[in-house]
């Protein structure tokens, strides 16, 4: 499967997290990089967008050679790159797109130009099998505040009307003892509940979750079951987030893999 996203020099989020999450599910990950960031656990110091023609060339190089059924997108940064990605998905007839609408880093730094939001909504969202916004992203996409469970359901309906087959609203930014994610397919709501884990080391959680879902789709699962498997994976590794750096540390993507190896030895 292919991840199209930005590079995180701290390796906790972005394309680095995508590839780690895919590998941890047993899936071979390919990449097309949209941007290079000078980033650590505290902030995004600088962003350099790659030339759109280079993004275009990376996608062509991969899709002309490898059998790719699932694509996951993360940071796209600017409208022209978002437009190129949409065009390539149509050209290669990619039916399974997991769209992580990366807009703001955990540090608060903006990762999507305002001009690109329109392209995202008009060209990419209608192509998505699944879109995975967190609550702040959902508020931008649906145009109203999301505070209650009723707000979550309303936001899911509004975003679903833009064209994706499924909407997964991630509840990590909400309050409460449980973190509740809601999946909506246009008719039915699926709820994924898990105890909230007290830790600051969650850098790259959104990228990891979306990539793990995409990996399980590549393994043949349905969307509800892929979300369930990815949610369980995330819940197993979050307690072991790495306490490195001065801000939000990264996840330990291969924690469960090492545990399995120890159990078999």
Phi, psi of 83 (to 5 degrees): -65, -40
The pLDDT score that the predictor gives to residue 177 is 77
Tally the domains of the chain.
Answer: 1
- Total Cβ atoms within 10 A of residue 132: 29
Give mean pLDDT, residues 214-224: 98
Question: What are the pLDDT digits (tens) for 11-37?
Answer: 999 999 999 999 999 999 999 999 999
Range with top average pLDDT, 96-110, 140-154, 168-182: 140-154
Among candidate residues 46, 30, 39, 35, the one with its CA nearest the CA of residue 10:
39
Instruction: Report percent pLDDT > 70 for the chain.
Output: 92
Q: Which pTM does this prediction carry?
A: 0.94
The pLDDT score that the predictor gives to residue 178 is 85
- Say if residue 176's pLDDT is above 60: yes
Among candidate residues 37, 87, 78, the one with its CA nearest the CA of residue 59:
87
Question: What are the pLDDT digits (tens) for 179-205?
Answer: 899 999 999 999 999 898 989 999 999
Query: Taking all residues of the chain, what is their mean pLDDT, rounded to a whole number?
Result: 92
- Total Cβ atoms within 10 A of residue 232: 13
Phi, psi of 219 (to 5 degrees): -80, 0
Give mean pLDDT, residues 95-117: 79
The pLDDT score that the predictor gives to residue 115 is 78
Among candidate residues 82, 167, 150, 161, the one with its CA nearest the CA of residue 119:
82
Question: What are the pLDDT digits (tens) for 48-57?
Answer: 999 999 999 9
- 59: domain range? 2-264
- Say if residue 106's pLDDT is above 80: no
Q: In this structure, what CATH number is given to the domain that contains residue 176?
A: 3.40.1190.20
The pLDDT score that the predictor gives to residue 20 is 98
Give mean pLDDT, residues 139-157: 89
Confidence of residue 157 (pLDDT cuts 50, 70, 90): very high
Higher local confidence (pLDDT), 17 or 143: 17
The pLDDT score that the predictor gives to residue 110 is 63
Residues with catalytic roles: 170, 202, 204-207
Which three-class secondary structure state does DSSP give residue 37? strand
- Say if residue 265's pLDDT is above 60: no
Least confident of 10-24, 75-89, 103-117: 103-117
């Amino acid at each position: 499967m292919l991840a199209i996203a930005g590079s995180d020099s701290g390796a906790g989020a972005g394309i680095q997290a995508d590839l780690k999450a895919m590998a941890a599910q047993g899936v071979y990950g390919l990449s097309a990089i949209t941007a290079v960031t000078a980033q650590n656990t505290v902030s995004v110091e600088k962003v350099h967008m790659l030339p759109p023609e280079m993004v275009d060339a990376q996608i062509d190089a991969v899709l002309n050679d490898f059998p790719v059924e699932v694509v996951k997108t993360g940071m796209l940064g600017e409208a022209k790159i978002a437009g190129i990605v949409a065009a390539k998905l149509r050209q290669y007839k990619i039916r399974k797109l997991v769209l992580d609408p990366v807009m703001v880093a955990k540090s608060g730094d903006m990762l999507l130009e305002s001009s690109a939001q329109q392209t995202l909504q008009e060209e990419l969202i209608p192509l998505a099998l699944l879109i995975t916004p967190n609550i702040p992203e959902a508020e931008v996409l649906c145009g109203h505040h999301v505070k209650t469970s009723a707000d979550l359901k309303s936001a899911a309906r509004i975003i679903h009307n833009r064209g994706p087959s499924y909407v997964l609203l991630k509840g990590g930014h909400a309050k409460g003892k449980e973190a509740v994610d809601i999946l909506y397919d246009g008719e039915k709501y699926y709820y994924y509940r898990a105890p909230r884990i007290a830790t600051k080391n969650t850098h790259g959680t959104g990228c990891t979750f979306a990539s793990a879902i995409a990996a399980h789709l590549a393994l043949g699962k349905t969307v509800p079951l892929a979300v369930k498997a990815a949610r369980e994976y995330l819940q197993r590794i979050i307690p072991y987030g790495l306490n490195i750096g001065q801000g939000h540390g990264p996840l330990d993507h291969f924690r469960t893999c090492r545990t399995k190896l120890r159990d078999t030895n």
